[in-house]
Chain A
Amino acid sequence: MDRLFRALTFIFALAVLALAALIAFELYRNSVLSQKAFGWSFLTRQIWDPVEEDFGALTFIYGTLITSALALLLAVPVGIGVAIFLAELAPKPMSEVCAFLIELLAAIPSVIYGLIGIFVIVPIMRVQVQPFLIKHLGFLPLFKGPAYGIGLLTAALVLAIMIVPFITTITREVLMSVPREQKEAAMALGATRWEVVRMAMLPYARSGIAGSVFLALGRALGETMAVTMVIGNSTHIQASLLAPGYTMAAVLANEFAEADSELYTHTLIEVGLALFVITIIVNGIARLILGRMKVAPVS
């Protein structure tokens, strides 16, 4: 019975691996036309012309990387800050309730975040944030141009809101798992509350925090719906963060239905393949960090 069970679970585990391999293979097989036509330069060219069937994915790669990076930049300090507050400062019942609510936030479908983006965040961006940035930082190419409301920065902000729960939930947990003795060791040296956090808690929890950040990054890279709704879907790279852009996931979602030629379809699937590879790597790193942390708490 036990052996049967072991064999079964082993087979299931293999099946999962086989599934991942199969996905990779199918993505590869269904994008060969694009690979033949454009080679590696597919990843470095900006052109996106379905009429002439001339394709390059750089706009989407750029859009994906820049929105995810910006989202992390916004979400990491907030997420960790909230986690510190919940783990260390908030009264226990409040911490529990907040943690529960924050976990719920992570479960909201992304199309809802997209709607909130369109109806709440875009107007605020258009009327307040973007004009402010243009006025005060407009001398930088990053903050030039008309205030559309939508755009890379808006997409990054929506993404940031979506990934804060991931960072906060895991960071809170690893902070709470810091042994009391470590905190007391810092306190006994005359550390203030904040110094205890800085000296004994954050370093102790750092690999868990890094894991949560990579997990959040993986989520941000692959996020489709919410981003598609607010990024503006422009196939040109512009220096300004206020300008509309595009991401890999968004172009797939938008254009797959209208891809009328085989090459066009293969091109989109190659974008999917690139996204698949990037997210697998990022998530792999996250799992490695988080996994290692569990087996090797400091002696």
Chain B
Amino acid sequence: MDLMNPSALGIQAQNVKAWFGAKEVLHGLSLEVLPKHVVAIIGPSGCGKSTFIRCLNRMHEVVPGARMEGRILLDGEDVSQHDPVALRRRVGMVFQKPQPFPTMSIYDNVASGLKLNGLRSGPQMDQIVEESLHAAALWDEVKDTLGKPGTSLSGGQQQRLCIARALAVKPDVILMDEPCSALDPIATAKIEELIYALKKSYTIVIVTHNMHQAARVSDETAFFLMGELVEFGATSQIFTNPAHKKTEDYISGRFG
């Protein structure tokens, strides 16, 4: 089963700068994510990857003292004109550490976003929960234990649960911040397969420290360094024939 989403949208970031207090951590980044493409963001720790994708769904601004400048267009519309709450319902996010709601069952975790949208329990909700769990490749493992707490699952399953939760509200874009860094190789492989399947329907931006992962799942790759975009291009080109020396050094493991 597939959650088809014909309306997957593209994102354009234009000269994005971001601050924590007085400290500028993004110095004017521009890049474009095409609809139904997967863009991987790589770069050494602290270079601003998380900050950047948190600008995309305006989660950056919830940190006290944080602000941004520049423009981010979702389907051509400036996200700063959106209500952030409404924006986040269209731009889903999956975090580094799985964050299921601990007091909720597996079912309720997936349904939580739907309830925010005002959907009442019933056959329609059951159906969307099932579809989302299928789409997150978790259904077969949990179909008999939907009433159990989300935290009873393994780390990898919890992460797929969080992906299902993000998918349930049918977002246009999914942001993933190192979604596999807390997972073992088998769980990681499952999530990568999943990302590959999801890109048929969604636009995805994924931050990763794993070069192989970036190479495997993404169409384009962006290399960040100290708050600047060093290089952005087709993944195959970045990994075989990078234009910049720094990119080459980083992906070949010579620093970072």
Contacts and interface: CB of A to CB of B under 8 A. Distances in A.
A190 interface: yes
A187 B103 contact: no
Contacts of A195: 116
A184 B59 contact: yes
A189 B95 contact: no
Contact of B86 (A185, A189, A190, A200): A190
B57 interface: yes
A206 B103 CA distance: 9
A203 B165 contact: no
Interface residues of A, number: 19
Contact of B116 (A191, A203, A204, A298): A191
A192 interface: yes
Interface string B130-147: 000000000000000000
Nearest to B103: A203
A42 to B, nearest CB: 43
Nearest to A299: B151
Contacts, number: 65
A298 B89 CA distance: 26
Contact of B88 (A187, A199, A200): A187
A182 B97 CA distance: 10
Contacts of A190: 85-89, 113, 116-117, 169
Interface in B58-104: 59, 62, 85-89, 92-93, 95, 97, 99, 101-104
A192 B151 contact: no
Contacts of B87: 190
With most chain B CB atoms within 10 A of its CB, the pick from A189, A204, A298 is: A189
Contact of B101 (A182, A184, A299): A182
B162 interface: yes
B165 A189 contact: yes
Given A187-B62, A298-B151, A182 B89 contact: no
Given A188-B93, A189-B166, A181 B116 contact: no
B57 A199 contact: no
B57 A188 contact: yes
B1 to A, nearest CB: 22
Interface string A173-208: 000000001101111111110010001100110100
A177 to B, nearest CB: 13
B103 A184 contact: no
A199 B101 contact: yes
Contact of B95 (A181, A200, A203, A206): A181
Nearest to A188: B93
A204 B102 CA distance: 7
A203 B104 contact: yes
Contacts of A184: 59, 62, 95, 99
Contacts of B162: 185
B112 interface: yes
Nearest to A297: B102
Question: How many of chain B's residues touch chain A, expressed as a range?
Answer: 20 to 34
Nearest to A199: B112
Given A182-B101, A184-B59, A200-B101, A189 B151 contact: no
Contacts of A191: 85, 116
A199 B104 CA distance: 9
Contacts of B85: 190-192
Contacts of B92: 188-189
Contacts of B116: 189-191, 195, 199
A195 B92 CA distance: 17
A190 B87 CA distance: 7
A199 B102 CA distance: 11
A204 B151 CA distance: 12
A185 B88 contact: no
B157 to A, nearest CB: 13
B169 A189 contact: yes
Contacts of B89: 189-190
B102 A298 contact: yes
A291 to B, nearest CB: 19
Interface of A: 181-182, 184-192, 195, 199-200, 203-204, 206, 298-299
Interface of B: 57, 59, 62, 85-89, 92-93, 95, 97, 99, 101-104, 112-113, 116-117, 151, 162, 165-166, 169
30 contacts: A182-B99, A182-B101, A182-B102, A184-B59, A184-B95, A185-B95, A185-B99, A185-B101, A186-B101, A187-B62, A188-B93, A188-B166, A189-B88, A189-B89, A189-B113, A189-B169, A190-B86, A190-B87, A190-B113, A190-B117, A191-B85, A191-B116, A192-B85, A195-B116, A203-B101, A203-B102, A204-B101, A204-B102, A298-B102, A299-B102
Given A188-B166, A189-B169, 20 more contacts: A184-B59, A185-B95, A187-B62, A188-B88, A188-B92, A188-B95, A189-B88, A189-B113, A189-B116, A190-B86, A190-B88, A190-B89, A190-B116, A190-B169, A195-B116, A203-B103, A204-B101, A204-B103, A298-B151, A299-B151
